[in-house]
Amino acid sequence: MKRNFALLLAVLFLFVLSACGGKGNTAGKEEADPASSETNEMRTTREENQNEPLAAAERSAPGEEAAESPYFFLNNILVTKDVTMAIKDYKVLLPGENGNESGEKPVIAFWYDTTNLSDKEGVTALIAWHAMFRVYQDTDPNYYNELKEAPSPDSKLAETENAAIKQNGTVSNAIAYYLDSLTVPVLIKATRGSSGEPLGEQEYLIDTNGEESPEPAEVEPPTEDEPESIPESEPEAESEPEPSAPALTAEGFRPEFKVAMDAYEAFYDEYCDFLAEFNKNPTSQSLLSRYTDFLKRAEEFDEKFDEWDGDKLNDAELKYYLEVQNRVMQKLLSVPEPEPEPEPERVQEPEPEPVQEPTAPTLNADGLRQEFKEAMDAYEAFYDEYCEFMKEYMENPMNLSLLTKYSQMLEKSEEVDKAFEAWDGDTLNNAEMKYYWEVYNRVMQKLLSIY
């Protein structure tokens, strides 16, 4: 069942805006240019990129802007308060090459090391990359073309890309992005976590290491004394073997599935941190201007996440999919709301003549409309019945009567889901919104307990 997280984002932000009502300041829109004009100083050849990163860090200090801050991204080295990252190598992988065996487009792959300088326990090589870097290729005259992430190009390093890094520990990893052109350079922009402070950018030239296909040799026509030879029929080509099953991790996941799920959860961790920071300083114009960027990224991540819902997931992937979805919803619900500002005292004005207003809907003691409460309880009661039936069916899957009932349960579940999701687009008050997600979370937990 797909959940529209964009609705939840909008609701959360409405709470924030309501707390800031009455303040005349509006957020100015700030635009960053990720594909800045090329200069000779910024253009980096492949040979320069393959130099030893630590030696590059010992070069002369960057320009005046870098001197003002101890944090920077220069010569393949990123230095921040919490982590340092060194891009050790990069390579363009064509479809079918090692690291891009199943791809239909060429990718650019980066190999890098991540060192955790802090005592934080949740730092991983993959999360650090997503938090610090954005990857672009200037292939469109109208918008900044941010490249889409591809499956990991190094299956061995992918096993530890989500491993928590100890303080002062270093973990190596690799990451890849689908290319939209084999001639336009790739630009990496570095920013400092949720603050968005630009730390630098670097350009990487495309080098496919390819050779032009040789032209076919010319065949001379037969002479008059020499009859034209009749080509022998070529033997039938052997049938290609069927594609092997995709390689799975130790947990039973496809590597690209695990990357997509962890990137989705990592983004919403970043979003929740941003919203908590904003609630502490709701008048900050820089934070308000970043909200638009978060909405755009959230829409992209939700689309990628929902695409997996229609894919053929195995049992382990389906369970992990629902677990990630449940954790993200819990984090969104746990973001504290800002305290409302006290309303200014109002001067007593003469009361206008009473106007007949439509009566407000009747609410129960919990602040819920009666028809809403009945719909939610009916939804949960059906899935209680469904879970009990599935347990019985899984114990005896060859029972014909259970098979007949199973098709009936599936048909009914579609009707129940549509009735439940109809409330998702309705105008719910705070109490109803809370109860809506509580019922949904309980149903998800019951479904997970079946497997």
Q: List, in sequence order, every beta strand (DSSP E) within 240-329.
A: none
In this structure, are residues 119 and 95 in contact, taking their beta carbons and an 8 Å threshold?
A: no
Q: Is 142 helix (H, G, I), strand (E, B) or coil?
A: coil
How confident is the model at residue 397, as a pLDDT? 81
The pLDDT value recorded for residue 310 is 62
E strands of 138-282, at which residues?
Answer: 149-150, 170-178, 186-192, 197-204
Length of the chain: 451
Instruction: Report mean pLDDT in 10-residue bins for the chain, 451 residues.
Output: 45 44 41 41 41 39 52 93 95 93 92 95 92 94 95 94 95 96 95 78 82 40 48 56 73 90 93 86 80 85 84 86 92 79 67 67 84 91 91 84 85 87 78 89 88 69
Under 8 Å between Cβ of 148 and 177? yes
* 3-class secondary-structure state, position 296: helix
**Tokens coding 224:** 């008059």
**What element of type H or E holds 91?**
strand 83-93
Q: How far, in Å, CA of 331 to CA of 437, rounded?
A: 12
DSSP assigned state of 135: E
pLDDT given for residue 232 in this prediction: 53
Residue 255: partners with Cβ closer than 8 Å, 6 or more residues away: 151, 152, 155, 158, 247, 249
Burial (CB < 10 A; 0-12, 13-18, 19+), residue 223, is exposed
Measuring CA to CA, which residue among 179, 169, 128 is closest to residue 149?
179
pLDDT for the residue 18: 46
Q: How open is the CA angle 185-186-188, to the nearest 5 degrees? A: 140
- Residue type at 114 in one-letter notation: T
Per-residue confidence (pLDDT) for residue 68, from 0 to 100: 61
Contact (CB, 8 A) for 78 and 84: yes
Residue 441: what are its φ and ψ, rounded to 5°?
-65, -40
Q: Taking the alpha carbons of 402, 407, 410, 412 in that order, is the dihedral positive or negative?
A: negative
Q: Distance between CA 138 and CA 203 in Å, rounded?
A: 11
Q: pTM of whole model > 0.75?
A: no
Residue 133: its H or E element: strand 133-137
Of 309, 312, 315, 301, nearest to 262 (Cα)? 301
Q: How do 170-178 and 197-204 pair as beta strands?
A: unpaired
C-beta neighbour count of 438 within 10 angstroms: 13
**Which of these, 256, 191, 234, 183, lies nearest to 32 by C-alpha position?**
191
Rg (CA), the chain: 29
Q: Give Cα separations from 418 to 364, 414, 415, 422, 424 (angstroms).
A: 25, 6, 5, 6, 10
